Structure 1
Amino acid sequence: MRLIPVDTTGALVMVAQEPRPKLKDRRTGEMAMDTETGAPLMTLDVTFVANGQAEILSLTVPQPGLPEGLVPGTLVALTKLIARPWENEFNGQKRTGIAFRAEAVTATMPALVGAKG
């Protein structure tokens, strides 16, 4: 399995959607767990701005690596962000993508809710 470290130096990373449980099985609601630590896994959507481009990334993060109170607009730092290419086939359709995972997320500045310019 190929793991690619992602350099976040100079990137602006902001919470786009509050963390939510990562599901292993959507039909049963079973949560995904970290295979090494047994910790529940969470999904966190962030806006990642670097080199003049912005993208929404869905990150997988172990629950102990997420601080309380992450809300949209919170600026964050990502610890050990990696990208992992994936592919699967379902009903004859080949799908590919990139999965992102961070070891931890740290709030660097709270969200500016209701701020006026």
Structure 2
Amino acid sequence: MRNIPVDTAQMTFIAAGSPRPKVKDRQTGEIKYNADGSPMWQLKVLAQVEDNDAETLLVSFPAAHAITARLGTPLTVQGLTAIPWETNGRHGVAFAAATVAPLDMRRAAE
């Protein structure tokens, strides 16, 4: 399956929790790393397009350290992609981003 780029220009993102390491192997607790060797993180995010209802997305992203985000933190999400998947008769869409960071409120006001 291919990755589908998501246009986030008209979207607002808010953290729906705190970031957690993405686990590669649940039995051993091994953390997943990307091809560049950066640890992968997951964060539940409320995503809203203009005046539509918000959707909750679980977004994976690489970062050297956990970002400083908690419930209600406004976020910037860059390079968001939707990744359709199918395994053993189950299917869904996963979401990954190049970066996820707390929104710089000073820049947002400009």
Match of 1:83 in 2: 82
Letter in 2 for 1:99: A
**TM-score with structure 2 length normalisation?**
0.87
Structure 1, unmatched stretches of 5+, are 111-117
CA RMSD of aligned residues (A): 1.7
Q: Deviations over 1:21-65 (max 9, x none)?
A: 11011111011111x201111111100011512111001010238
* DSSP-derived class of the 1:17 partner: coil
Q: May I ask how many residue pairs the two structures share in their alignment?
A: 104
Q: Give the number of the structure whose alpha-carbon radius of gyration is greater.
A: 1
Superposed displacement of residue 78, structure 1: 0.6
Counterparts of 1:82 and 1:62, CA distance in 2: 13
Counterparts of 2:18 and 2:63, CA distance in 1: 13
Question: Which stretches of structure 1, 4 residues or more, deviate above 6 A after TM superposition?
Answer: none
Letter in 2 for 1:55: E
Among 81, 92, 100, the alignment partner of 2:95 is 100
**Percentage of identical aligned residues:** 38
Counterparts of 1:29 and 1:66, CA distance in 2: 17
Contact persistence 2:20–2:66 (CA under 8 A)? no
**TM-score with structure 1 length normalisation?**
0.82
Superposed displacement of residue 10, structure 1: 1.5
Structure 2, unmatched stretches of 5+, are 106-110
- Determine which structure has the larger strand proportion and give its number: 1
